[in-house]
Amino acid sequence: MSFERPLTEIKGVGPAVAAKFTILGLKTVADLINYYPRRYDDYSQITPIKKLTKPGPVTIEARITSIKGRYVRRGMHITEAVATDDTGSTRLVWFNQPYRELGMKRDQNYFISGNFELSHQHFAIQNPSTELSSEFPINTARIVPIYRETKGLNSRLIRNALKQEIAAIEQLPETVPAWLVTDHALLSRAEAIKAIHFPETSQQLETARRRLGFEEVFELSLASLLNKNELMAKHAPPVPFTEVIAKDFVGSMPFDLTNAQRKVVWRIFLDMQKSQPMNRLVEGDVGSGKTVVAAMAAVMVLHHGHQVALMAPTELLARQHADTLYKLLEPLGFADQVGLLVGGMSAKQKTTAREQIAAGKIRLMVGTNALIQESVDMRGLELIIIDEQHRFGVDQRKSLQAKAGHMPHVLSLTATPIPRSLALTLYGELDISVLDVKPPGRQTIITEIVSPNSRAQLYQKIDAELSAGRQMFVVCPLITESTMLAVNSAEKIYEDFSTRDFKHRKIGLLHGKMKPDEKNEVMQQFVDHKLDILVSTTVIEVGVDVSNATIMLIEAAERFGLAQMHQLRGRVGRGKDQGYCYLMMSDSTAPSKRLRALERSSDGFKLAELDLELRGPGAIYGREQHGQLDLRIAKLTDVKLIAEARAAAQATIDRGENLLHYPQLQANVRRLQAVTNLN
């Protein structure tokens, strides 16, 4: 039985319906079978009508003894019916479903599932689903799957199409080795897919979810482990550790390294001494000192006469890194080897930079993706440093690596604290180091939840801070006003501040619809203190350092993820003065658990764990990055499942399993390897 049959071969799926399926990305039977429900309604408990005593979802098995439809005010249609079983009768009500009157047959038994609610001072089952009683109902009297829908294609139609393919589902081939299914007590793939669409019990649904979630993490883990093995088979020129250079660097700094920085730097030095390429991710909370760690790695490479490239996601961040590295390396005599290459430079400046890079005069190249242009010749490249690496696509990272002509050492940095389960799954092929201690002298940002009723008092406090020469970020969830959301937009706040609340201050506006040059200009004005207040959306760059900014005001704070707000909070208080973060609510309702956690804690890792638990990976890294994970079933909070699946992936490699024997597994793993690897 071919799973690549077009959906039009399913009874009831003509060209028009097939076009609706295509909108959801479904073209073949295989696509349909692998289209998992997004949630379930449990209507499996059949209740005698006599026992319907409280509101909520219910299922009855009853006869329709009367049914009648009528139009009421403003064109609304109401269909009312009476359903009767051996214990009593109850009302059914449908709104704007006139076909119900002709579609229901009197004196035949139906399963009827819906919400038992109060309607016009009488209880009734409202807008129920109905189907003739049978041994295998699909829309009622069971745990009913609900799918992501599109106009003209609802879950009922999707379920009806899937029901006709049950025979095909039962013939689904296994996708993983038989020993793995046995050793980990997994359902077969066929059993799991059938149960995910048509679960008979909640327990069966959980076992199906465990099997499919296990397989998702297993595939990701296998892909990352294979990437790691392939990387370890490559050669990278070793960079010997020279103790005197490390000591000179540490001795030249005006502050002491934290123990966390010392451990991470030593790990990097050990990695670079090997003939296999380093592939290490350093994750550190806001202000944990990642740039110093990167600088120490770079100095060791420069000392041995090689080149280093540091790629940052934005021009402003690249310029900031170049300035910081120049200052850090100046006491060691390497400052004249630091160069910048970004799109905003003049043609003459770019040409000069490229010539100096090719000649080896610039050996620490800092830039944006301008570094990966064909005209940039890096013949001695031995270390790549990628800042906020999740902001770059795989192709961009590979293009930079290709400049070396071989696999160089790679050091990736991220300021986004990543929960361990997410890091293991998303970055399984990387060695991961954590900077979990902030340098001495860093002040904790004072964080406060604010009701809109207290806005005037807050503005007085803010104005006093601005009068002392400080600056403020204001972050809003929207660029323009929305009729759907009652929240302040960046444009409205900018207008209010400019014409009323802070009209005596210099105010700028920054958002994602502006051109890159415009954004850079506004941000630079804020950095240069030509603006007192910057009103923005979340385009404020991670890592941008404005030491004079001490206030972060987040509008409609309840609409942001915890990890995201923690990152925004990290934009202020980076100098000697106390920083403040104000979480402005949209209304006066009680603050959520997330906001209270942010108010109490400055530990980005704990907050990221909570965000992952409450909102999922998208709250931490954004939807695009989460999409690469392709986790539709597995929960990243299920640490036990992740550990078990990763162990199974390692066992598969240790056994020497040939993926050619498992075509679907091989295809999925190869696709995932291409998404994540740097080989």
Distance CA 431, CA 433 (A): 7
Least Cα distance to 369 among 415, 400, 335 occurs for 400
**pLDDT tens per residue across span 186-219:** 999 999 999 999 999 999 999 999 999 999 999 9
CB atoms within 10 A of CB 72: 9
Q: What's the CA angle centered on 572, arms 570 and 576, to 5 degrees?
A: 115
How many other C-beta atoms are found inside a 10 Å radius of the C-beta of residue 358?
Answer: 14
Query: Domain 243-274+288-414: what homologous superfamily?
Result: P-loop containing nucleotide triphosphate hydrolases (3.40.50.300)
Spatial separation of the C-alpha atoms in residues 162 and 152, rounded to whole Å: 17
The percent helix, strand, coil of the chain (3-state, each to 5) is 45, 20, 35
Look at residue 261 and tell me whether its pLDDT is greater than 60.
yes
Of 37-46, 240-249, 420-429, the range with the lowest mean pLDDT is 420-429
Alpha-carbon span 545 to 128, nearest angstrom: 57
Cβ of 50: how many Cβ atoms within 10 Å?
A: 12
Q: Collapse the DSSP code of 57 into the 3-class scheme (helix H, G, I; strand E, B; otherwise coil) and give the result.
A: strand
Amino acid at 402: A
The mean pLDDT of 229-235, rounded to a whole number, is 88
The whole model's pTM is what?
A: 0.77
Query: Confidence band (pLDDT; 50, 70, 90) for 638?
Result: confident
Q: What CATH number does domain 45-141 carry, 3.40.50.720, 3.30.479.30, 2.40.50.140, 3.30.429.10?
A: 2.40.50.140
How far, CA to CA in Å, does 224 sit from each of 231, 331, 629, 668?
10, 40, 12, 12
The band of 679, judged by pLDDT with boundaries at 50, 70 and 90, is very low
pLDDT in the model for residue 543? 58
pLDDT one-digit tens code per residue, 354-396: 999 988 899 999 998 888 887 888 878 999 999 886 677 667 7
What integer pLDDT is reported at residue 255 of this predicted model?
A: 82
Equal fold, 243-274+288-414 vs 446-601: yes
Residue in 464, 546, 553 with CA at minimum distance from that of residue 505: 464
Confidence bin at 626 (pLDDT 50/70/90): very low
- With a pLDDT cut of 90, the percent of the chain lying above it is 62
Whether residue 460 has pLDDT greater than 70: yes
Task: Please report which residue ranges of 184-289 form alpha helices under DSSP H.
Answer: 189-197, 202-232, 243-252, 259-273
Neighbours of 351 (CB within 10 A): 12
Q: What does the domain layout of the chain look like in residue ranges?
A: 45-141, 243-274+288-414, 446-601
Separation of alpha carbons 548 and 558, rounded Å? 27
Q: CA triplet 225, 419, 590: central angle to 5 degrees?
A: 155
State the chain's mean pLDDT as an integer.
Answer: 89
pLDDT at 8 over 70: yes
- pLDDT given for residue 546 in this prediction: 86
Confidence of residue 619 (pLDDT cuts 50, 70, 90): low
Euclidean distance between CA atoms 395 and 674, whole angstroms: 10
- Rounded to whole angstroms, how far apart are CA atoms 388 and 414? 5
Residue 622 has pLDDT above 60, yes or no: no
- Asked if 585 contacts 450 with a C-beta cutoff of 8 angstroms, the reply is yes
Residue 628 half-sphere exposure, CB side, CA atoms within 13 Å? 20
84-128 pLDDT, tens digit each: 999 999 999 999 999 999 888 888 899 999 999 987 778 999 999
Lowest mean pLDDT among 232-236, 284-288, 413-417, 495-499: 284-288
- The CATH number fitting domain 446-601, selected from 3.30.450.20, 3.40.50.300, 3.60.90.10, 3.30.1490.20: 3.40.50.300
CA distance linking residue 479 with residue 483, whole number of Å? 13
What is the per-residue pLDDT across 141-151, written as a single tens digit (0 to 9) for each? 999 999 999 99
How do 39-42 and 143-146 pair as beta strands? antiparallel
Pick 439 or 545 by higher pLDDT: 545
In the chain, what percentage of residues exceed pLDDT 70?
95
Confidence of residue 627 (pLDDT cuts 50, 70, 90): very low
Going by C-alpha positions, the residue among 56, 41, 114, 57 that lies closest to residue 83 is: 114
Tokens of 71: 């139009």
User: Does position 624 have pLDDT exceeding 50, yes or no?
Assistant: no
Listed residue (264, 323, 305, 312) closest to 288, CA to CA: 264
CB atoms within 10 A of CB 394: 13
d(CA 554, CA 570): 12
Report the pLDDT value the prediction gives residue 351, as an integer from 0 to 100: 92
pLDDT range class, residue 464, cuts 50, 70, 90: very high
Angle at 372 between CA 366 and CA 374, to 5 degrees: 130
Q: What is the pLDDT of residues 290-305, one digit of tens each?
A: 999 999 999 999 999 9
| 387 contacts: CB under 8 Å, gap ≥ 6 | 294, 310, 311, 312, 313, 317, 321, 413, 543
Q: What is the DSSP letter of 497?
A: I
| pLDDT at 675 exceeding the cut of 80 | no
pLDDT tens, 605-616?
A: 888 888 777 766
Written as six digits, the tokens of 336 are 């004249």
CA–CA separation, 157 vs 154, rounded Å? 6
Quote the CA–CA distance of 476 and 455 in Å, as a whole number.
15
Look at the chain and count its residues. 679
- Residue 557's closest CA among 529, 581, 585, 580? 585
